[in-house]
Structure 1
C-alpha cells in the first residue's frame, strides 16, 4: 500500500500531524536546494528519534575506498560519495532548562509542515508540551537563496502559551558529522579552525583525500515581539562545534525569535585562505538586506523560474501537485550556471547513489533543461562530458581498450569510474550510447551545431571506437555481436546481444561518421584539428562502419519482435499480473538469483530503444513491442513509467498513459517503491515532464520543426506548458475541444499539428 499523508495542494507539499514513523520520509520530500547546495528537511532543534541528517554541497565529494569481497581487475579504487557537509541549521531550543525535542515531548499538536514550491521556502509550525508541562507554539521558516547561492536563512520563533518561560536559543555549527552511506566509517572531514566573534561563528574544515576546503558560517539576530532584543549572546566552543547562547525571560503570549544567516563558502569558488573573509562578505550583504527582503527576492526568483517551466493542469489536483513537485526539485537541484556540476539521481535529498552523475542526465534530464531554460544550460551538461573525455579514455584503457576508445563511467564525480558492482561497472556499457544520443538530441532541438565541431565530434569518435572494439565477429551468425552486457533492465546481467545495446552501438558509429563527414565539409579547420588530435584514419572509419552495418539483433519470428537479448524466450514467461502482489516489489522479496532467472523487467529496455529511435520504426512496430514487453515490466526503476507513459500516449491508450504518468509524477509523494526515506528520485522527475510534453502533448522535433499530436487525459479539464524552441517561447494550451498555440516573444514559428502545418505568430 502506498503512503497517503501528503495533503493535495496545487502549489505546496503539506504534512498535517506529527508522526515519528514519517519523519525520515518527510525529511526527503521537504528537502530544499539552490543548485549549489541543498539539505534534507531535518529539524533545526534537537531530535532524538530516527532521523537521516543530510546537508550537501555541489561538487564536494570523497573517494570512499571500494569494499568488495572479491576484487576483480578493472574495479575502480573508490566509490565517489557526496558528503554530508557540516551542519549549519542547528538551533538548540531550551525551555526552562529542558531541551525541546519532539520525540520526547508529552504532546505535539497542530503540527504542520509546508514546502511552498511557488515561492521556494519551507515552513513548520506546531504546539508542543514538554515534560516540564510548559506548552509552546513554534513557527519556523527557512530557504536557500537562489540569489546568493552560498546563503541559507532561518527564522525560528517560539511563543510560550500556558505560562511565562525562560527561553534559550543556541544556534550552532557542527563539523563532527558522518555519512549514513559509507564503506569503512571513515571520518571524511578534518576541522582546522574555529572562530567566534559577537553574533558570528565560523568553522573551517577540509575533506580528507580530495582536500576541498569549506568554511561553514553563521550570524544570528534575536527579536522579541519583532523588535531587536538587547540580549547578548554567550560564545560556546567544543572540539568540532561552535555555538552562541541567547537566554531571555519571555512572558506568556510573547514571541522570541531568532534569525540565522548561514551557509558555506568553498575552495571551489574562493582561495582556501579567503574562506572566512568570503563568508563575512556574504553575511554583510545578507544582513544589510534582511530576512523579509531576501524572502521577497526568493519569491521573485522562483516566479521567474515558474514563468517558463510551469505545467498547469486543471481538474486533477494530485496530478498538478505531482508535476510541480517534480519541476520544483529539478530546479532546486541544477540551475545550469556551473558546468562543473551535474545532476545526481537523488540530488540534494539523500546519499544513495553517492550523489554522482549517471546516464540519467543525458537520457532524461537534458530534454527538460533544453526546453525550459536557455540552451546554454543543456550545453553546459554536454560540456561536462567533453571535459571528462580524457578520463573516459583512461577508463576504457583500464578495461583493455586502446587507440582513444572511450567508455564513459556509469557513476562519476570527476570523470573517473567510481562504481564497483561488476555487472554494472563492466557490463552496463549502454551508458556510452546515452552520451552520444544527448549530442544528437541537443542539436536536433536547439539547432546549435557549433557544439559538435567544437567539442562533440571528439566525444563521438571516442565512443564509436569503443563500440568498434567491444563488438565481436561471430562466424556462426556471420554478424557482429556484443557479448556479456547488462542492458537498462538490471534484472538481467551478463547477457549476450541486448537489443538496446546493440542498436545504440550501431547508431553511435553511424552518427559519428555522419558528423565526421559534415565537419570535414563545412568546418575544415575544426576537422583538421580533430583528425590531428585523434589520429583517425579512413581505414579505421571503414572498419567501424563494417561493424555497424553488420550488427546482429536477436529476433523472434514467432512473435514478430526483437528480443531483449539472446535466450529471453527461454524463461518461464509468467506475466506480472499473474504474480502474487504480496511479493512486490520483487527486489525486496526475491533472491537475486530468482530475479535473474525471471522474465521480469526492471525498466524500459527494448522499449527504451523504441523511445529513443521512434523515428526509425513504424507505429505498428512500437505497438507490437509495447504489447509484448510491458506485461513483463515491474517498473521497479524510477526511470521506467515515463517511457511507458509516452509510448502508451503515442498508441492512443490514454488511460494507461495517465496511470503511468501518475505513477512517475507521484513516485516519491506516494512512495511507490517504499524507499523515499533514502531520498527523492530527482533524475526520473524529468521523465515526468516528458510524459506530459512528449506523451500527452505529442511533441517531437522532425526536420527542424516542432510537431505536436495533442491528447488529454479524460479526467483533466485542460493543461498548458511552454517550451523554448530555438529562442521561440511557445505556449501550448490543450483542452478536450481544441489546442491553442501562441508565441510569447516577437517573431513567428511554423509548427506541425497532427500532420498539418500551422504558422504561429506573436
Structure 2
C-alpha cells in the first residue's frame, strides 16, 4: 500500500493533521534547498519523537573509512559521506516555562504543513495544548534564499489563545550533531570557536580529514503584533553550542514573532581566516532587507525559474503536482552556478548513497538542464568530468589498467572512487559509457562542438582505452567479451556479456575514433596538442576498432531478441504479474541470493540501451524487446519507470505510458518503494521531466532538426512545456485535438512534427 496523505494541489505539497509516524517521511518530502545548501523539513522547536535531523552544505563531505569484511585490491579507502552540518534552524520555545514539543503536547489540532513550490517557501501551522493547559497557535514560514544563497530565514509566530503567558524564544546554533549515515561513528566536525557579537552568533568548525572550514551563523529580530521589540538577549554557550534567550509577557490573542536569519559561509567561497567577517557581512545584508523583503525576492527568483522550466498539465491535479515537485527539487539541488558541484542522488534531503555524483547526472539530468536553462549549465556538468579525468585514470590504474585508460567512479565527490560494494565498484562499469554519451548528447542538442576539441576528446580517448583493455577475446567465439560485470540492473551481479555494457563499449570506441578524425581534419592545433598529451598511435586506434567491430552480443533466435546477458534464459521465467504482492518490494523481502537467481529486473538494461541508441533500432525491434523484458521488471530502481514511460509512449501504449509516468512523478510523494524517510530520489526526477517532454511530447533531435511526435494521455485535457533549443525558446502546447508551437525571439526555425517539416515563425502560433 502506497502512502496517500499528501493532498493533491497544483502548486503545493500539503499535509493536514499531525501524525508522528509520518514525521520522517514529511521531513524528506518538504525539504528545501537553494543549490548551495539544503535541509530536511525538521521542526524549529524541540521535537523528542522519531526524527531524522539533516542540514547539508553543497560540496562539503567527509571521507568515512571503508568498512568491509575483507579487503580487496583496488578497494576505495573511503566512502564519501554527505555531511550533516551544524544546525542553525533551532528555536526552543517555552510557554510559562514549559517547552513546546509536539511529541508531548496534550493535544495538537489544525496541523498543516505546506511546501509552496511556486514561491519557494515552507510553512507550518497548528494549535496545541501544552502540559500546563495553555493553548497556543503557531505559524511558521521559512526559506533558503536563492538571491543570497548563504542565508536562510525563518518567521516563527506564537499566539496564546486562552490566557496571557510568558513566552521565551531561545534561537540557537548547534555543532554537536551526528550523521544518520556513518561507518564507524566517527566525529565528523572539529569545532574551532564559538563567539557572539551583539545579536549575532557564530560557530566556526572544520571537517575532520577534509578540512573544509565553515562558519554557521544566526541573528534574530522580535515583534509583537508586527511592531518590532528592541531587546537584549541572555547568551548561553558551550564548546559547540550557542543560544540567545528572549523573554516577553504576551497578552491573550497577541502574536509574538521571531525572525531568525541563519546559514553558512564556507572556505570554498571565502578565505578561511575571514569566515566570521564574511558571515557578519552576510547577516548585515540579510537583516537589513528583513524577512518580508527577502521573501519577496525569493518569489521573484522562483518566478524566473518557473518561466522556463514549468510543465503545465490541465485536468489531472496529481500528475501536475508530481511533475512540479520533481522540477522544484531539481532546481533546489543544482542551479549550475558552481562548476565544482554536481547533482547528488538524494540532493539535500538525506544521506543515503553518500557521494555527490553518479552516472545519473549524465544519463538523466543533463537533458533537463540543457533544455530548461542556458546550455552553459550543461557544459559546466561536462567540464566537471573533464576536471576529474586524471582521477579517472588513477582509478583505472588501481584496477590494473594502463596507458591512460580512464574508469570514472560509480560514486564520487572529487573524482576518486568512493563506492565500496565490490559488485558495483569493480563491475558496474557501464557508468563510463554514460560520460561519453553525455558529450554526444550535448553536441546533438546544442550544436556546440567546441567542447570536444577543447576538453571532451581527451575524455573520450581515456574511456575508449578502458573498453579496449576491459574486453577479452574469446577464441571459441572469435568475438570480444566483457566478463564479470553488473549492468544497470543491479539484481544480476558478476554476469558475462551484459548486452547494454557491451553495446555502449562498442559505441564509445566508435564515437572516440569518429571524433579523433573530425578534430584531426577541422581543429588541427587541438589535434596536435591532444596527440602529444595522450600519446596515441595508429596501431592503438586500429586495435580499438578491432574490439568495436568484433564485440559479442548475446542473442536468442527463439525469442528474436538480444539477451540481457549470457544465461538469462536459464532462469525460471515467472513474470511479475505472477509474483505475490506480499513479496514486494523484493529488495526488502528477499535474500540477495534469491534476488540474483530470479528473473526479476530492477531496471531493464536492454531497454536502457534502446532508449539511448534508439536510432540504431526499428520500432518493431523496440516492441519485441519491450514486450519481453517489461513483464519481468519490478522497477525497484528509481531510474526505471521513466524509460519505460518514454518507450510505451513511442509504441502508442498510452495507458501504460501514463501509469509509468505517475509512478516516476509520484515515486516519493506516494512512496512506491517504502523508503522516502531516507530522502528523495533527486536524480531520477529528471527522468520524470523526460517522460513528458520525450515521452508524451516525443521530442528528439533528428537529422540535426528538433522533432516532436506529440501524444496525450486521455486523463489530461492539455499539457505544455518549453525547451531552449540552441538559444531559441519553443513553447509546445498539446491538447486532445492537436498541438501548438510558439517561438520566442526574432528568428524562425524549422522543426519536424510527426515526421513532417514545418516552419515556426517568431511570436506566431503554429497549430498542427
TM-score of the superposed pair, with normalisation by structure 2: 0.99
Give a deviation string over 1:397-442, Cα, whole Å, max 9, x none. Answer: 0000000000000000000000000000000000000000000000
Distance 2:356 2:182 in 1: 14
Query: 2:171·2:260 contact (CA, 8 Å) conserved in 1?
Result: yes
Distance 1:534 1:96 in 2: 72
Matches within 5 A, 1:741-752: 741-752=741-752
Matches within 5 A, 1:318-329: 318-329=318-329
Q: What is the CA distance between 1:490 and its match in structure 2?
A: 0.2
Distance 2:349 2:377 in 1: 22
The alignment partner of 2:701 has SS state of: strand
Q: Which residue matches 2:501?
A: 501
Residues 1:275 and 2:279 are matched in the alignment: no
Matches within 5 A, 1:41-190: 41-190=41-190
Query: 2:59·2:341 contact (CA, 8 Å) conserved in 1?
Result: yes
Give a deviation string over 1:382-401, Cα, whole Å, max 9, x none. Answer: 00000000000000000000
Q: What is the CA distance between 1:519 and its match in structure 2?
A: 0.3
Q: What is the CA distance between 1:738 and its match in structure 2?
A: 1.1
The alignment partner of 2:683 has SS state of: helix
Distance 2:77 2:111 in 1: 46
Q: Which residue matches 2:765?
A: none
Q: What is the CA distance between 1:230 and its match in structure 2?
A: 2.7
Query: 2:733·2:739 contact (CA, 8 Å) conserved in 1?
Result: yes
Give a deviation string over 1:269-300, Cα, whole Å, max 9, x none. Answer: 00000100001111111111111111010000
Deviates more, 1:195-204 or 1:662-671: 195-204
Q: What is the CA distance between 1:609 and its match in structure 2?
A: 0.3
Residues 1:373 and 2:337 are matched in the alignment: no
Matches within 5 A, 1:545-624: 545-624=545-624
Distance 2:723 2:116 in 1: 24
Q: Which residue matches 1:704?
A: 704
Give a deviation string over 1:178-209, Cα, whole Å, max 9, x none. Answer: 10000000000000101112211000000000
Q: Which residue matches 1:532?
A: 532
Q: Which residue matches 2:516?
A: 516
Matches within 5 A, 1:303-702: 303-702=303-702
Residues 1:23 and 2:38 are matched in the alignment: no
Give a deviation string over 1:16-43, Cα, whole Å, max 9, x none. Answer: 0000000000000000000010000000
Distance 1:13 1:301 in 2: 19
Query: 1:141·1:155 contact (CA, 8 Å) conserved in 2?
Result: yes
Distance 1:480 1:577 in 2: 36
Query: 1:348·1:355 contact (CA, 8 Å) conserved in 2?
Result: no
The alignment partner of 1:354 has SS state of: coil
Distance 1:93 1:109 in 2: 18
Q: Which residue matches 1:236?
A: 236
Q: What is the CA distance between 1:604 and its match in structure 2?
A: 2.3
Give a deviation string over 1:717-751, Cα, whole Å, max 9, x none. Answer: 00000000000100000001110001022211100
The alignment partner of 2:572 has SS state of: coil
Distance 2:690 2:45 in 1: 39
Distance 1:131 1:677 in 2: 29
Give a deviation string over 1:479-509, Cα, whole Å, max 9, x none. Answer: 0000000000000000000000000000000
Give a deviation string over 1:116-172, Cα, whole Å, max 9, x none. Answer: 000000000000110000011000000000001100000001000011110000000
Q: What is the CA distance between 1:356 and its match in structure 2?
A: 2.1
Distance 2:396 2:658 in 1: 41
Q: Which residue matches 2:250?
A: 250
Q: Which residue matches 2:215?
A: 215
The alignment partner of 2:459 has SS state of: helix
Q: What is the CA distance between 1:7 and its match in structure 2?
A: 0.4
Which aligned segments of 4 or more residues in structure 1 are displaced greater than 6 angstroms? none
Give a deviation string over 1:238-275, Cα, whole Å, max 9, x none. Answer: 22100000001100000110001110000000000010
Query: 1:231·1:248 contact (CA, 8 Å) conserved in 2?
Result: no
Query: 1:346·1:355 contact (CA, 8 Å) conserved in 2?
Result: no
Query: 1:747·1:761 contact (CA, 8 Å) conserved in 2?
Result: yes
Query: 1:64·1:78 contact (CA, 8 Å) conserved in 2?
Result: yes
Deviates more, 1:233-242 or 1:211-220: 233-242
Query: 1:396·1:405 contact (CA, 8 Å) conserved in 2?
Result: yes
Q: Which residue matches 2:193?
A: 193
Distance 2:416 2:261 in 1: 36
Q: What is the CA distance between 1:112 and its match in structure 2?
A: 0.3
Q: What is the CA distance between 1:355 and its match in structure 2?
A: 4.1
Distance 1:485 1:395 in 2: 17
Mark the runs of 5 or more structure 1 residues left unpaired by the alignment: none
Q: How many residues align?
A: 762
Give a deviation string over 1:524-556, Cα, whole Å, max 9, x none. Answer: 111001000000111100000000000000000
The alignment partner of 2:178 has SS state of: coil
The alignment partner of 1:746 has SS state of: coil
Query: 2:90·2:171 contact (CA, 8 Å) conserved in 1?
Result: yes
The alignment partner of 2:354 has SS state of: helix
Distance 1:416 1:472 in 2: 26
Query: 2:355·2:411 contact (CA, 8 Å) conserved in 1?
Result: no
Distance 2:55 2:529 in 1: 44
Deviates more, 1:335-344 or 1:223-232: 223-232
Distance 1:191 1:128 in 2: 36
Query: 1:203·1:217 contact (CA, 8 Å) conserved in 2?
Result: yes
The alignment partner of 1:352 has SS state of: coil
Distance 1:131 1:48 in 2: 15
Distance 2:281 2:230 in 1: 24
Distance 2:270 2:755 in 1: 54
Distance 2:312 2:38 in 1: 26
Q: Which residue matches 1:723?
A: 723
Distance 1:524 1:604 in 2: 42
Query: 2:100·2:130 contact (CA, 8 Å) conserved in 1?
Result: yes
Distance 2:690 2:306 in 1: 17
Distance 2:135 2:198 in 1: 31
Distance 1:463 1:198 in 2: 56
The alignment partner of 2:137 has SS state of: strand
Query: 1:231·1:247 contact (CA, 8 Å) conserved in 2?
Result: no
Distance 1:711 1:746 in 2: 28
Q: Which residue matches 1:34?
A: 34
Query: 2:355·2:418 contact (CA, 8 Å) conserved in 1?
Result: no
TM-score of the superposed pair, with normalisation by structure 1: 1.00
